[in-house]
Amino acid sequence: MLWGGTITRTSRRQKKPSAKPIYKEWWFWLIWAVALCFIIVIITGAVQGDDSSSHTASSAASGKVSKASASRTRKAKDASDTGVAKSKAKTIPIDNEDAEVVSEANFNPNFTDSAWAGTGVKIDRIRIAKIKPFKDTEEKNTVYNGIVLVHFSVTAQRDINFYPTQGTLVTSDGQQVEANMYSSDSFDGEIAKGATKSGNVLFALTKLDNPKDLKTLRLKWDANYDTDNYDDDNSSHTYDVTVNLN
């Protein structure tokens, strides 16, 4: 308690607190985080757009190449078809050697068949050649004097197995011989639906004086297709055809 006198109050000016730097404000970092996310989204979208465009262009180019390749493939001959039945060469390859042709006769029988499973079979060329006696050391030194080449073309309407290179030939003069699978073209076996395969099957004859002496050729071979239907009696088939040589 103060008695009398004058009370003198000292007035002190309150010092205002200094403002925080902006980077210490929580809302600054929130805005920065949102902006950063937005920038990342924009950049990612642009990169994906470029990749998509590149992929589309690449796919289009690939499609053009594939179509061109397919076109060339359709026009090309079956790669396994050696064309030896059509050839005029003076030798015929057999068991890693060459048999020398003495004389020959060529036929275009134009045989067709589509009775089994819609499979289109054509025998369009046959070459019969008398050869110089040829001793086949791989076949018990059998001496051959003739060769028959049969050209097949096969178009499948479903997946099939087709085996003319394992077939049998019966000639009009009574010879029965098995196909020389090793010296035939490798065109048969599994043939897919819609595919066309072609090639030559070679038969070697022990007797042949004149190629024109043969009037008919009887050919037998097997074919089949896979099925789960046990009642399908058509799944296995033996071809037995006779081709007239005119």
Average pLDDT over residues 60-82: 47
User: Cα(first)–Cα(last) distance of the chain, in Å?
Assistant: 152
pLDDT band at 49 (very low <50, low <70, confident <90, very high): low
pLDDT of residue 46: 62
Q: How far apart are CA 114 and CA 229, in angstroms?
A: 22
**240 Ramachandran zone, left/alpha/beta (phi>0; psi -120 to 50):** beta
Count of C-beta atoms within a 10 Å radius of residue 171: 22
Query: Which CATH code fits 91-226+236-244?
Result: 2.60.40.4170
pLDDT band at 18 (very low <50, low <70, confident <90, very high): low
What percent of the chain stands above pLDDT 90? Answer: 61
Check pLDDT > 60 for residue 39. Answer: yes
Contact 135, 192 (CB under 8 A): no
pLDDT of residue 9: 44
Burial 62-77 (b: 16+ CB within 10 A, else e): eeeeeeeeeeeeeeee
pLDDT of residue 138: 81
Residue 100 vs residue 50, higher pLDDT: 100
Count of C-beta atoms within a 10 Å radius of residue 169: 21
pLDDT of residue 31: 83
pLDDT band at 17 (very low <50, low <70, confident <90, very high): low
Strand, coil or helix: what is 84? Answer: coil
Q: How far apart are CA 230 and CA 223, in angstroms?
A: 17
pLDDT of residue 79: 63
Average pLDDT over residues 44-71: 48
Size of the chain, expressed as the number of residues it contains: 246
Contact 162, 154 (CB under 8 A): yes
Average pLDDT over residues 159-175: 98
Q: Which residues contact 101 (CB under 8 A, 6 or more apart)?
A: 89, 90, 91, 92, 129, 130, 131
pLDDT of residue 23: 59
Q: How far apart are CA 217 and CA 190, in angstroms?
A: 25
Strand, coil or helix: what is 100? Answer: strand
Check pLDDT > 60 for residue 238. Answer: yes
Residue 103 vs residue 31, higher pLDDT: 103
Q: Which of 75, 92, 94 is nearest to 129 (CA)?
A: 92
Average pLDDT over residues 71-83: 56
